[in-house]
Amino acid sequence: MAEPVLSLRGLSKSFGALKATDDVSLDLRAGEIHALIGPNGAGKSTLIGQIAGTIRADAGEVWLAGREITGHSVAARARAGLARSFQVSSLAMEIPARVNVRLAAQGRAGGSYRLWGSAARDAALAAAADAALVRVGLSARADIPVAELSHGERRLAEMACALALAPRAFLLDEPMAGLGGEGTARLTDLLADLRHEAPILLVEHDMDAVFRLADRISVLVYGRVILTGTPDEIRASQAVREAYLGEEA
Amino acid sequence: MTLALFLEQLLNGVQLGLTLFLMAAGLTLVFGVMGLINLAHGALYMTGAFVCATVAGATGSFWIGLGAGALAAAAAGAVVEVAVIRRLYARDHLDQVLATFALILIFSEGARLIFGDRPLWLDIPAALSGTLALPGGAQYPLYRLAIIGIGLGLAGGLWWLINRTRIGMQIRAGEADREMIAALGVDIRRLYTLVFALGAGLAGLAGALVGALQSVQVGMGEPVLILAFVVIVIGGIGSVKGALAGAVLVGVIDTMGRVFLPATFGLFMAPAEATATGSALASMLIYLVMALVLALKPKGLFPADA
Amino acid sequence: MREALVNFALIALLPLVALGAQAAGETYVVTLAAKAAILALAGVGLNLALGVGGMVSLGHAAFFGIGGYAAGIAAHHVFAGTPVIGWPVTLEATDQMPLIWLAGVLAAGLAAAAIGAVSLRTQGVHFIMITLAFAQMVYYLGVSWKTYGGEDGLPIYLRNQFPGLDTGDGMQFFALAYACLLAGVALVWQVARSRFGQALAMARMNEARLAASGISPYPVRLVGFVLSGMVVALAGALFADLNGFAGPSMLSWHRSGEIMVLVILGGVGRLCGPLAGAMLFVALETLLGGLTDRWQLFLGLVLLGVVLFARGGLMGMLAGRARHG
């Protein structure tokens, strides 16, 4: 089997006596959507932080495309090809989505210490930003300040930022959160399509979307992955039912 | 170096440190509870000194002057909080810096209008004008020992206030969670005015106490303000314990550096050069210590959220 | 574009005032115009850190003063006929402004790199207090540096020279200061629109977004801080030559506050805000200062009013709310 694109090996993090993540290992393979689910307090946020680089792991490694990125900063991970979206949209609100997306394209292209020229008139950056905005379907609304966009549109803008990085892997933190039916459907279609460009590690509460989209699902309970499998295997698992689904039923 | 000189300078350092603590405690509380950076804290220090000197001159009693100085600074703090500061809590730090910088200009010119351009002099109270013999033979001024005593007493009082009283509980709750405390039915506007006035009163008291050691003049609060900032950065912002530890550390290092660095350089340099180099380095010493602390512990030695 | 028109008017106004005053024989006003141009240049420099990068630095007087001392030290040695450095290599003093500016700007750049490297590890209130504290350290260094006047500072008996100009002539010196201001405005305008400027602006608006875009915020801020300090140092060198004096007062934290006040009076983050602010500041200082010694009381009240009630500053009133993007 081909080498996984993103690989977590034995990640652990404790806050005092609390083990937020405990020896978590999982793989993200080329072309797949791998969903990470688990009840509140299972350690999903901590795990995302460890992958994205905002939380330093006590132990374990993170590998991306055959390179270890465990000690890398957030920015270095993004440059290595890990694009993330935030649980709460994190964009510069006072400027248009296009400028936000263009900065991601700039991060990808480099030259961020170039003092000459105009970023706004840079054809290469504009083309990359355009392509990403077209892809998420936000072109028509890309030139008004983000503050004036709807919640769903901000989610799409954030996806466009991730796309403009031309990443090797996506790390999406509850992209469906707060979206209505139409918004969820739109994003579901986008993600289903995106996986062929780069695989997606999807942390999501919306179980319908998860079971519709995911090729594989990992279940995180009390900081440990109790099972990784296909949606059918997860549905059939007694352990998952007890630990997680049973709680919601 | 003799033991007497060492002890004398150590006490001087502790005395400077405790005065800095009185400044820093108010600043750090105001930041911790209200999230405000107040550049005008030095103006309240100056207010305390001016009022103390004037009242002591009129009544002939240093102690009445001291009380009046602290109360006047607290009152000025309360007025300023109600008129200006409370509009700044929701603003960004830039607005806070500018508005409190404006207050400095207003206070400085106001002091010149009210008290005149010339420095005032404040005499040490007769009861404390004597000295005490230190081990090693040096005579140490009683007044400076009294400042140390008052500083320690107030540090203890502040600890008691914050940890053992209802108001202290509200202050601690305010540091942890501002919405929560409003939900608990505490009158948050009154609490903020109270905390600000308390900090102002402590600054005014410090100004009045130091006023008897040096001249009372416009601008006297600003070098102390900047030292208090260094104290807060070293001790950890928002932490009263950090302010005390940082203040004594800064006071002792600064005082010792000024005395002993030139002497140390004198061991291997010509006297004039040694004095110049040593005192230049000594005046920069605490800032270098601050840089070192930041490099090792960016949140200070006793961060409030630890 | 209303702001472009206002910018153009502001840029044109200053030389018109200077020329008019010259024609009317009011040479004092020409000096004031030069002062406004120089303070505006300092504001333009600070605005790069403050307005574009969101770094509330209360320590820029350090860079202003370093520039000033460069001019003062050069003039001091030229006047005394001594070399700046006698050992291990001999560095003769020069009275040529381009060389002095180069030295001052580089020295300030180094100082800004050192101060920024430590201060930028922190943010918010910490950053404000630490930049203030480091500037105070430089101030005490100036005070205790007896070779260069200590507390009294250095007089500049003869203004430093610029090739092809008579810098002793008020109008020609104004022209020089004004040209430097234009160069500073052009530089900051260009930096802000460059790729670097976009990254620096994002460091102010949303640091997490910048990092998620693959650009590390810390070095971006540091470069912005250094560039800003270098522009302010040029203003300092001119200021020393204007006043015939370089000393610790240029390093004092009141100076940092004043430069910041200019930026705010004009409108933060606006290209020509510092120019509007500096002209207003010099006008207030001259007009009110002529009426009363207590003019700073009124400056304080005006500033308080602007902060509390008119947050866009002068540019906000003249050109409407700031446009971003």
Whether chain C has a CB inside 8 Å of the CB on A96: the answer is: yes
CA-to-CA dists, residue B238 to B29, B162, B210, B242, B243, angstroms: 6, 13, 25, 8, 8
User: Could A116 and C212 be called an inter-chain contact, meaning their C-beta atoms sit closer than 8 Å?
Assistant: no
Yes or no: say if C265 and C313 are a contact pair by the CB < 8 Å rule: yes
Q: Name the fold adopted by B3-296.
A: ABC transporter involved in vitamin B12 uptake, BtuC (1.10.3470)
- Give A78-105 pLDDT, tens digit per residue: 999 999 999 888 999 999 999 999 999 9
Q: What is the pLDDT of residue A1?
A: 55
Identify which of C196, C209, C211 has the shortest CB distance to residue A113: C196
Listed in sequence order, the residues at least 6 apart from C102 whose beta carbon sits closer than 8 Å to its beta carbon are none
Q: What is the pLDDT of residue B1?
A: 58
Whether chain A has a CB inside 8 Å of the CB on C216: the answer is: yes
Average pLDDT of the residues in A117-126: 94
The helix (H) or strand (E) run that includes residue A189 is helix A181-194
User: Could A106 and C198 be called an inter-chain contact, meaning their C-beta atoms sit closer than 8 Å?
Assistant: yes
Residues B84 and A34: their CA atoms lie apart, in Å, by 55
Under DSSP, the state recorded for B217 is -
Average pLDDT of the residues in C43-64: 96
Residues C158 and A114: their CA atoms lie apart, in Å, by 40
Yes or no: say if A217 and A28 are a contact pair by the CB < 8 Å rule: no
User: Could C211 and A79 be called an inter-chain contact, meaning their C-beta atoms sit closer than 8 Å?
Assistant: no
Residues C94 and B78: their CA atoms lie apart, in Å, by 55
Asked which of A70-84, B160-174, C37-51 is least confident by mean pLDDT, the reply is: B160-174
Other CB atoms closer than 10 Å to residue A29's CB: what's the count?
A: 16
Confidence of residue B167 (pLDDT cuts 50, 70, 90): confident
Whether chain A has a CB inside 8 Å of the CB on C195: the answer is: yes
Residues of B in contact with C58 (CB under 8 A): 97
Residues A43 and A49: their CA atoms lie apart, in Å, by 10
Identify which of A73, A115, A145 has the shortest CB distance to residue C216: A73
**Preferred mutation among B38, B98, B230, B289 to probe C, highest tally of C CBs within 10 A:** B98
Q: Flag whether C66 is in a domain.
A: yes
ipTM for the assembly: 0.94
- Give C17-26 pLDDT, tens digit per residue: 999 999 999 9
Strand A169-173 vs strand A216-221: parallel, antiparallel, or unpaired?
unpaired
CA-to-CA dists, residue B110 to A180, B47, B103, C256, C306, angstroms: 60, 10, 10, 22, 20
Hey, where are the domains in chain A?
1-81+168-249, 93-166
Please give the structure tokens belonging to residue B209: 């106490």
- Give C231-268 pLDDT, tens digit per residue: 999 999 999 999 999 999 999 999 999 999 999 888 88
Determine whether C182 is exposed, middle or buried from the number of CB atoms within 10 Å of its CB (0-12, 13-18, 19+). Answer: middle
Phi and psi for B139 in degrees, rounded to 5? -95, 125
Q: What is the pLDDT of residue C325?
A: 35
User: Could C144 and B279 be called an inter-chain contact, meaning their C-beta atoms sit closer than 8 Å?
Assistant: yes
| Residue in chain C lying closest to A89 (CA) | C209
Range(s) of the domain holding residue C53: 2-319
Q: What is the pLDDT of residue C137?
A: 95
Confidence of residue A246 (pLDDT cuts 50, 70, 90): low
Instruction: Name all chains with 3 or more CB-CB pairs below 8 Å to chain A.
Output: C
User: Could B103 and C300 be called an inter-chain contact, meaning their C-beta atoms sit closer than 8 Å?
Assistant: yes
What is the number of structural domains in chain C?
1
A59: left (phi over 0), alpha (psi -120 to 50) or beta: beta
Whether chain C has a CB inside 8 Å of the CB on A249: the answer is: no
| CATH class held by domain A1-81+168-249 | alpha beta
Is-cis flag, bond preceding A167, omega within 30?
A: no
Average pLDDT of the residues in B32-36: 87
Four-point Cα dihedral C156, C161, C166, C168, nearest 10: -10
How far apart are the CA of B279 and the nearest CA of chain C, in angstroms?
A: 7
CA-to-CA dists, residue B112 to B23, B75, B216, angstroms: 22, 19, 12
User: Could C297 and B110 be called an inter-chain contact, meaning their C-beta atoms sit closer than 8 Å?
Assistant: yes
Identify which of B87, B226, B298 has the shortest CB distance to residue C121: B298
Identify which of A91, A112, A114 has the shortest CB distance to residue C215: A112
Comparing B189 with A201, which gets the higher pLDDT? Answer: A201
Residues of C in contact with B298 (CB under 8 A): 121-122, 126
Identify which of C191, C208, C215 has the shortest CB distance to residue A90: C208
Average pLDDT of the residues in C30-48: 97
User: Could B37 and C307 be called an inter-chain contact, meaning their C-beta atoms sit closer than 8 Å?
Assistant: no
Residues A128 and A164: their CA atoms lie apart, in Å, by 6
Q: Tell me: pLDDT of C321 over 50.
A: yes
Identify which of C193, C195, C214 has the shortest CB distance to residue A165: C214
C269: left (phi over 0), alpha (psi -120 to 50) or beta: left
- Give A4-20 pLDDT, tens digit per residue: 999 999 999 999 888 89
Residues of B in contact with C309 (CB under 8 A): none
Q: Flag whether C49 is in a domain.
A: yes
Rounded to the nearest angstrom, the gap between the alpha carbon of residue B208 and the centroid of all alpha carbons in its chain is: 11
Q: What is the pLDDT of residue C71?
A: 97
User: Could B109 and C296 be called an inter-chain contact, meaning their C-beta atoms sit closer than 8 Å?
Assistant: yes
Q: Tell me: pLDDT of B81 over 60.
A: yes
Listed in sequence order, the residues at least 6 apart from B252 whose beta carbon sits closer than 8 Å to its beta carbon are B10, B13, B14, B16, B17
Yes or no: say if A35 and A210 are a contact pair by the CB < 8 Å rule: yes
Q: Tell me: pLDDT of C324 over 70.
A: no
Under DSSP, the state recorded for C50 is I
- What is the residue-averaged pLDDT of chain A? 92
- Give C76-95 pLDDT, tens digit per residue: 999 999 999 887 888 889 99
Q: Tell me: pLDDT of B30 over 50.
A: yes
| Residue in chain A lying closest to C193 (CA) | A118
Residues of C in contact with B31 (CB under 8 A): 125
Whether chain A has a CB inside 8 Å of the CB on C217: the answer is: yes
- Going along chain C, which residue ranges are E strands? 154-155, 245-246
- Give C170-197 pLDDT, tens digit per residue: 999 999 999 999 999 999 999 999 999 9
Other CB atoms closer than 10 Å to residue C320's CB: what's the count?
A: 12
Yes or no: say if C18 and C29 are a contact pair by the CB < 8 Å rule: yes
Phi and psi for A81 in degrees, rounded to 5? 120, 20
SS3 labels along A49-112 = HHHHCCCCCCEEEEEECCEECCCCCHHHHHHHCEEEECCCCCCCCCCEHHHHHHHHHHHHHCCC
Whether chain A has a CB inside 8 Å of the CB on C193: the answer is: yes
Confidence of residue A244 (pLDDT cuts 50, 70, 90): low
Under DSSP, the state recorded for C251 is G
Size of interface B-C (CB pairs under 8 A): 115
Phi and psi for B101 in degrees, rounded to 5? -65, -40
| Residue in chain B lying closest to C256 (CA) | B101
Q: Flag whether C176 is in a domain.
A: yes
Kindly provide the b/e burial profile for residues B179-204, where b requires at least 16 CB atoms within 10 angstroms of the residue's own CB: eebeeeebebeebbbbbbbbbbbbbb
Whether chain A has a CB inside 8 Å of the CB on C215: the answer is: yes
Q: Tell me: pLDDT of A146 over 70.
A: yes
Confidence of residue C33 (pLDDT cuts 50, 70, 90): very high
Look up the CATH number of the domain holding residue C217.
Answer: 1.10.3470
Q: What is the pLDDT of residue A249?
A: 40
User: Could C202 and A93 be called an inter-chain contact, meaning their C-beta atoms sit closer than 8 Å?
Assistant: no
User: Could C308 and B99 be called an inter-chain contact, meaning their C-beta atoms sit closer than 8 Å?
Assistant: yes
Average pLDDT of the residues in B49-56: 96
Asked which of A94-103, A188-197, B266-275 is least confident by mean pLDDT, the reply is: B266-275
Q: Tell me: pLDDT of C323 over 70.
A: no
Residues B289 and B279: their CA atoms lie apart, in Å, by 16
Residues of B in contact with C118 (CB under 8 A): 291, 294-295
Q: What is the pLDDT of residue C39?
A: 98
Yes or no: say if C34 and C235 are a contact pair by the CB < 8 Å rule: no
Nearest-CA neighbor of A79 among A67, A88, A87? A67
Comparing B41 with C145, which gets the higher pLDDT? Answer: B41
Chains B and A touch, contact meaning at least 3 pairs of CB atoms under 8 angstroms apart:
no
Listed in sequence order, the residues at least 6 apart from A186 whose beta carbon sits closer than 8 Å to its beta carbon are A137, A152, A156
Confidence of residue A245 (pLDDT cuts 50, 70, 90): low
**Preferred mutation among A112, A143, A146, A173 to probe C, highest tally of C CBs within 10 A:** A112
Determine whether B167 is exposed, middle or buried from the number of CB atoms within 10 Å of its CB (0-12, 13-18, 19+). Answer: middle
Confidence of residue B305 (pLDDT cuts 50, 70, 90): low
- Give C279-301 pLDDT, tens digit per residue: 999 999 999 888 888 889 999 99
Q: What is the pLDDT of residue B240?
A: 87
User: Could C300 and B298 be called an inter-chain contact, meaning their C-beta atoms sit closer than 8 Å?
Assistant: no
Yes or no: say if A35 and A215 are a contact pair by the CB < 8 Å rule: no
pTM here?
A: 0.94
Q: What is the pLDDT of residue B65?
A: 95
Residues of C in contact with A107 (CB under 8 A): 213-215
Residues of B in contact with C144 (CB under 8 A): 276, 279-280, 283
- Within chain B, residue ranges assigned H as helices are 3-34, 41-59, 62-83, 93-115, 142-164, 166-176, 178-183, 188-211, 221-235, 240-266, 271-296
Q: Provide residues of C within 8 Å CB-CB of chain B.
A: 50, 56, 58, 118, 121-122, 124-126, 128-130, 132-134, 136-137, 140-141, 143-146, 253, 257, 260-261, 264, 268, 294, 296-297, 299-301, 303-304, 306-308, 311
In the block, tokens 């709680």 appear at A247
**Preferred mutation among C198, C210, C223, C323 to probe A, highest tally of A CBs within 10 A:** C198
- What is the residue-averaged pLDDT of chain B? 90
